[in-house]
Structures are given as C-alpha cells and as structure tokens.
C-alpha cells in the first residue's frame, strides 16, 4: 500500500514537472513566433515597396541623413547594412548587445560602448524598438527610428 502511495506521489511530481516544462517551452515558442512574425512583416513591406520602385535610401536622403548606425546585427540588420552599402548613404557602424559574436560588413559596438555621432540610428529589432530607443536616447543626440518607420515612410 505504501509503495503505491509513493508511486502515486512520484507520478504526480513527474506530471507537474512535465506540465511546467511544456508550459515554459510554449512561452519560448510564442516569443520566437512573435519575433519571426515581426521580421516577416517588415520584410514583406520592404519587398512590396521595393517592387513598386520605392527605395529605403529615399527616406535617408529626404531627411538629410547621410551617415547611419544600424542597431541589431541579426538577419534583418545584416540585410539593411548590405543594402545601404550599395547606396550613397554611409553605415558608420552597427550596434549589438552581442557584438563580440556577430559579423557584419561594418564595425560593431555594444550599446554600452562610446558611440560616435551619426545622423540617425535605425533599430532593426521590431519587437524591442521602444526598449532600445529608451536605452540609447541618453547616449545619442540623433533620432532613433525603427526599420518599420523607415519602410512605412517610403
């Protein structure tokens, strides 16, 4: 009888652990989905406007921005850097919290490092834009814009 009570307790504990683990995994999946969905929306808007003859560099030219910094060196940030490098706009550097472990065709700094002046910072992580903007506002004396805002404006 005691054996079955202990076995029941162990089974309940295992069920709790499995449910907790699956719940944690579900939260991670939802977070990943949100992030990927944000990138997808941005890329579709960018592609649609590009196919209509609209170019991202128009935003920078119209606003008098000649040098930019790109925040976020994930796939979207790298795509923006590579695209802008084919225009007259200068990508002065990129900013990423994981600067030591990423590569881009420009210098990469952490946000806590000394950042030289640029005309504008473009944040390429849509889900974290407001958080990043607040983080940089005290350091940078230029506008900090979201890649979504740039694409929407062209």
Evaluate if residue 102 carries a pLDDT over 90: no
Name the superfamily (CATH) of residues 1-154: NAD(P)-binding Rossmann-like Domain (3.40.50.720)
Evaluate if residue 96 carries a pLDDT over 60: yes
Q: Residue 11 and residue 18: Cα distance in Å, rounded?
A: 10
pLDDT for res 126: 86
Evaluate if residue 130 carries a pLDDT over 80: yes
Q: Residue 125 and residue 140: Cα distance in Å, rounded?
A: 18
Q: Residue 96 and residue 123: Cα distance in Å, rounded?
A: 10
Tokens of 44: 């579709």
Dihedral (CA of 153, 60, 103, 117) sign: negative
Q: What is the mean pLDDT of the chain?
A: 85
Q: Residue 133 and residue 123: Cα distance in Å, rounded?
A: 8
**How many residues would you count in the chain?**
154
**Dihedral angle over CA of 138, 139, 141, 146, nearest 10:** -80
pLDDT for res 52: 92
pLDDT for res 42: 87
pLDDT for res 127: 87
Domain parsing of the chain, residue ranges: 1-154
pLDDT for res 150: 95
pTM: 0.78
pLDDT in tens, 55-88: 999 999 999 999 999 999 988 999 999 999 999 9
């Amino acid at each position: 009888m005691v054996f079955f009570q202990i076995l029941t307790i162990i089974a309940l504990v295992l069920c709790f652990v499995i449910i907790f683990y699956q719940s944690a995994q579900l939260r991670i999946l939802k977070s990943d989905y949100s992030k990927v969905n944000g990138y997808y929306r941005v890329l579709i808007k960018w592609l649609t406007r590009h196919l209509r003859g609209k170019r991202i560099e128009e935003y920078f030219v119209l606003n008098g921005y000649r040098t930019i910094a790109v925040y976020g060196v994930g796939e979207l940030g790298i795509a923006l850097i590579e695209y802008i490098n084919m225009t007259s706009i200068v990508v002065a550097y990129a900013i990423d919290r994981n600067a030591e472990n990423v590569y881009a065709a420009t210098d990469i700094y952490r946000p806590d490092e000394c950042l030289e002046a640029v005309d504008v910072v473009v944040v390429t992580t849509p889900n974290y834009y407001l958080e990043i903007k607040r983080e940089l506002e005290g350091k940078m004396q230029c506008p900090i814009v979201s890649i979504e805002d740039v694409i929407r404006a062209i």
